[in-house]
Amino acid sequence: MANNNNRRRLKPLPIIITVIILAAIIVAAVILIKKLSPARTYTDFEYYYNLSGDSELGREAAREDELAIVLQQQNPDKLEGLILQSRAFSMDGQVYVKYRILKNNIDDRIYFDDVDNVAVITNALQMVTAELGEHGYSVDGNFVSTDYAVVTERDGDIYFAMDFIDEFSSASYEVFENPARVVIKHACGTIKTGEVSKNTQIRVKGGIKSNIVGDVEKGDELQIIEDLDDWLGVMSSEGYVGYIKANAVTNIQETQAANDYDEPEYTSLTTPDHVRMGWLAVYTLDANIEFYELADNAPQMNVISPTWYFLANDEGGVWMLSDGSIVDAAHERGMLVWALFDDANTDYVEAVLSSTSKRKAVIDAVMEDMRLENIDGINIDFERIGLVNDLGDDFIEFLRELSIECRKAGKYLSVDNYAPYDYNACYHIEEQSRLCDYVVVMAYDDYLGGADGIGPNSSLPFVKEVADLTVSKVEPSKTVIALPFYNRFWYEQTDGTFIQASYNTTKAWYLLELAGESAAWDEELGLHYAEYDEDGERVHAWLESEDSYQAKLGLLEGYGIAGIAGWCLGQEIPELWEVIAQYY
């Protein structure tokens, strides 16, 4: 009996074990389900959209009238930065966004002149202006009223009304609530898009446990920014920026961004043949007479650019040396005349280019002179832009406004540039390619002494480097490479410093002959080189010749450029224009 009782007391043990196992399975299942289940928590929208304060970032909480800015850029490579730290604000039913955000991210043609306090937007044929605080804008002088201030100031910053930006640029915008945000779309170029295949969520990070940024529905279109294999970095039309599971997106394709801005075409003039341009140095009216002899010595030249325009003062006055009889004589020889505009005085340049009213005075003056004298075009040779802080935006704005008038009048517009290294970025050479008929780049001044030391003026490797850089930024069909007609000698002083001197080609070779020296051909540099002692100085000379120009022109022939220019007439060897005509 005792054994039977013991057996009865042991019967509940399997049940208990079973219960424990079942409980463990249930707990494990719950844990697994929880682990595999996506998070249902929405992110802190105020913080996510940079509307809440953050003492570490020095950011104050948004004011009642402020909105987050979501920037739907063309082809960004990552999500970071699409939700901006800066905020927009609303006033009188209008959304305002900071000038610099619009200029740097939407359209570089948006411009504000803080001298005259006027906003400017240009296209190929129109100049639109609006004075600070004014309820309206002018299109080519015709005023259009608005029920809002087109441009306003707040806390020391300039803001543009988005309705104005929407009308005169490829940008559009939409406002959303909870949180308050404005989504700005810059519709240009090719973007990558996809379609949501099922109702799902966009999350802060690529993972199902990450908080939710926003809900999207089947059929919604997304712009795809990043591809992380299982997850895609996306932006929705409502400004949700984050990550979505890759298998929830279908119909991925590259598409042309659409906008309803009907922008006039940037048309360009082209010469009947390759450009073969010579600059004529004219600094007095009497010097114009030199044209006849110099042109007769260059029968293959088809464009002549005399230095005829200079800034006369800091109010936009222009000193002119143009001569209609020279224009007529050039036309009789089959030459176009592009009057060169020189920036001889840096102080005048800064004062004039930074003022919309003064730029207009300059443009009006030169356009009227070109009309009166039947001049075919203008060549802008402003070489001091990089010497003045922050003048690059004003310079390219000057070219934009001038290009409108040249395009309307059927006048050629060309502009001269240094080699387009990064430190010359202030010249905006890519934008010049859109605005101008021809972009001229000077393939000389390789060595200027000082910290750079001495060396050739225009060696073959330097010309190649300049050409490579230029055609990477400018259409070859608009590119003109300028070559030097002069030679550079370096005189080494007893203290180890150097004094440079420039000589025309005939004189350079004469000086060498006078010294009883000869120059050896340097195959790599494509120049002749001589080194000798003269009057206690060591002379280093790199000389141009017919051979050196043959080497340069043969190299440039493979780039498909528009032509060649040379500084300056009267300094070249007699055979040079025949050599140029063999290639261009």
Half-sphere exposure of 574 (CA within 13 A, CB side): 2
pTM of the model: 0.91
Residue 410, phi-psi category: left (phi > 0), alpha (psi -120 to 50), beta (remainder):
left
The pLDDT of residue 31 is 55
Do the Cβ atoms of 241 and 83 come closer than 8 Å?
A: yes
Which is nearest to 394 in space by CA: 122, 111, 100, 98?
A: 111
Please write the tens of the pLDDT for every residue from 558-573: 999 999 999 999 999 9
Which is nearest to 245 in space by CA: 202, 213, 212, 215?
A: 202
Q: What angle do CA 24, 30, 34 make, to 5 degrees?
A: 145
Cis geometry, peptide bond prior to residue 436 (ω within 30 degrees of 0): no
Beta-strand pair 231-236/241-245 = antiparallel
Residue 306: C-alpha distances to residues 100, 335, 341, 359 (Å): 39, 12, 9, 22
> Among positive and negative, which fits the CA dihedral 101, 107, 108, 113?
negative
User: Which strand (E) or helix (H) includes residue 487?
Assistant: strand 486-492
Task: Sketch out the chain's domains with CATH numbers.
Answer: 43-265 (no CATH), 275-485+551-583 (3.20.20.80)
Which is nearest to 539 in space by CA: 504, 509, 500?
A: 500
The pLDDT of residue 362 is 98
**Which tokens sit at 579?**
């050599």
Residues found in the chain: 584
The pLDDT of residue 347 is 82
Do the Cβ atoms of 496 and 582 come closer than 8 Å?
A: no
Q: What is the largest CA-CA distance in the chain?
A: 142
Residue 117 three-state SS: coil
Please write the tens of the pLDDT for every residue from 464-473: 999 999 999 9
Cα–Cα distance for residue pair 463/446, rounded to 1 Å: 9
Segments of the chain scoring below 50 in pLDDT: 1-2, 6-8, 10
- List the helix and strand counts (H, then E) for the chain: 15, 33
Output the 3-class SS for 287-328.
HHHHHHHHHHCCCCCCEEEEEEEEECCCCCCEEECCCHHHHH
